[in-house]
Amino acid sequence: MRADYVIIGAGSAGCAMAYRLAEAGKQVLVIEYGGSDRGPFIQMPAALSYPMNMKRYDWGLKTEPEPHLDGRQLVTPRGKVIGGSSSINGMIYVRGHARDFDHWAEMGAQGWSYADVLPYFKRMEHWHDGGHGGNPDWRGNDGPLHVTRGPRTNPLTRAFVAAGAEAGYPITGDYNGEQQEGFGPFDATIYKGRRWSAASAYLRPALRRPNCNLIRAFARRVIIEDGRATGVEISRGGKTEIIGANTEVIVAASSLNSPKLLMLSGIGPAAHLAEHGIDVISDRPGVGQNLQDHLELYIQQAATKPVTLFSYWNLRGKARIGAEWLLWKTGLGSSNQFESAGFIRSRSGVDYPDIQFHFLPIAVSYDGKVAPEGHGFQAHVGPMRSASRGQVTLRAADPNAPPRIQFNYMSDPQDWADFRTCIRLTREIFAQPAFDPYRGHEIQPGDAAQSDEALDAFIRQHVESAYHPCGTCKMGRADDPMAVVDPQARVIGVDGLRVADSSVFPRITNGNLNAPSIMVGEKVADHVLQRHPLPPANDAPWINPAWETSQR
């Protein structure tokens, strides 16, 4: 089997690239180990806690014991299904802040500033504002990726935004537009009541073309001959085969599996590869380094009125929601329930938001367990730009062995101060008059946890990954020893090989990573096709004029 372009991974970026390359008439072959995304657990937005906990759809990766979190091992779900993690995520759509991309360019990812990437965000989107505000000039209106907003009918969802305003923060009609800072409605990759993943938006239309094919197989390594990637070694049906690439191999296997594939192929830190008996083709010490993520806590409050989603948290309630969704794709099943957002700055002197809130009108955890108190609500909160860095390394030279993942969470002292700030600022928002009709006692951390020490103990035990790993194949200048790919996503030191997924992010973006991952696929496709990039945008984002002297 051969193709012009072989893409490893049918995830967010891989699907976007398959679509754009096939659209341009290239022969494309996509390798994906996972299976179909057709089940109701994936397609029904409200069922989001199921697929990320199902072996069928998730790679089942775990961190090593995290030294600063009492040795806890945290789960790191990654989608093992067409659509990749866009098929098992929370469907939240956040581009990231303009300053994030300007920072990428300053770090050596030339051509990836906000002016450069905004046209790609617009190209990929078909935005539906749902009458909740925002300026359509900042958004795309005919791209393959439908982005919508929930109905926001729950009174708690509206109370959260009102409380943000009462606490002195701005309101924003569209955090993905001119002004991220403030409180307002969430965008989601949901369309006509269903999850609108990268498989729905990009892969299925691409596969309808005769020049794009999908193969179900496990990618073992990239074949490199005389310094050039010529194909991919795969296993399927108990046999090992080689798929040839006439022009390029593109690795889009996630920030956890892409560096693993490069290392198995002889690209990575020479000493580490030698430990595992792998011949070094290109000594790139940055492969697997620079691992970043967002951590978050749930701040949970009991509710004094039965207005939360807990009313439906029983067999009859879930059956009713499921039936309405199956019949009409409407009702509570058609929303991910994350309908109100907040982006704020932790302190004066920070020029753009570094804290994100996801509000939920029920007190529940990602594994689907509700708080014993019953009716409650919560805000997921966490800092956006931790200085802590981890690494992905090989456990063995066997491609079937999972990678070793060490995030080194909370290794920077500032992380602890930032999380304490997050808790205290969330409590202040929940204490506003907008919540007076609904506010019961604080479920967690609980009123007794006030001192720094008590909050640190709570953080150590309860902090969770927001599932936003990135950075392990950093994009940068070709002369940067820690860069893995150049600004056109070409692996430095090997011809005919690129990486295009969240692993190329030089630094984590502000918010959930699905949107910028798809954008990377869109933009890299133009580099692959040797097209001129889309003309830069001149839109200047809103920055709080008082950022130097005030926190809000």
Start-to-end C-alpha separation, the chain = 58
Residue 133: predicted pLDDT:
87
The 3-state secondary structure of 255-266 reads: CCHHHHHHHHCC
Residue 130: predicted pLDDT:
80
Domain extent listing, the chain? 1-129+193-291+470-533, 151-185+295-383+411-462
Residue 285: predicted pLDDT:
98
Distance between CA atoms of residues 41 and 367, nearest Å: 14
Residue 131: predicted pLDDT:
81
Residue 413: predicted pLDDT:
96
Distance between CA atoms of residues 357 and 38, nearest Å: 31
| pLDDT tens per residue, range 265-284 | 999 999 999 999 999 999 99
Please give the C-alpha separations between residue 295 and each of 379, 406, 410, 465, in angstroms, as whole numbers.
13, 14, 9, 4
**Pairing of the two strands 391-393 and 295-303:** unpaired
Please give the C-alpha separations between residue 267 and each of 87, 93, 270, in angstroms, as whole numbers.
29, 33, 8
Residue 170: predicted pLDDT:
98
Architecture field, domain 151-185+295-383+411-462: 2-Layer Sandwich (3.30)
Cα 134–Cα 139–Cα 143 angle in degrees, nearest 5: 140
**pLDDT under 70 in the chain at which residues?**
none
Say which DSSP state 497 is in.
Answer: E
Distance between CA atoms of residues 203 and 168, nearest Å: 44
Half-sphere exposure of 202 (CA within 13 A, CB side): 32
Minimal CA–CA distance to 89: which of 392, 452, 502? 502
Residue 370: predicted pLDDT:
85
Which two structure tokens, joined as six digits, stand for 176? 């993905």
Provide the Cα torsion 327, 331, 336, 342; round to 10°: 160
Distance between CA atoms of residues 93 and 515, nearest Å: 6
Minimal CA–CA distance to 227: which of 5, 496, 476, 490? 496
Q: Phi/psi of residue 376, each to 5°?
A: -170, 175
Distance between CA atoms of residues 1 and 328, nearest Å: 42
SS3 category, 74 = coil
Q: Is 462 a catalytic residue?
A: no
Fold of 1-129+193-291+470-533: FAD/NAD(P)-binding domain (3.50.50)
Do 69 and 410 form a contact (C-beta atoms < 8 A)?
yes
Residue 546: predicted pLDDT:
96
Largest Cα separation within the chain, whole Å, is 70
Distance between CA atoms of residues 405 and 209, nearest Å: 38
Distance between CA atoms of residues 385 and 383, nearest Å: 6
Q: Which of 128, 468, 527, 532 is catalytic?
A: 468
Minimal CA–CA distance to 234: which of 18, 8, 38? 8
Q: Is 479 exposed, middle or buried, given 0-12, 13-18 or 19+ CB atoms closer than 10 A?
A: exposed
Do 217 and 240 form a contact (C-beta atoms < 8 A)?
no
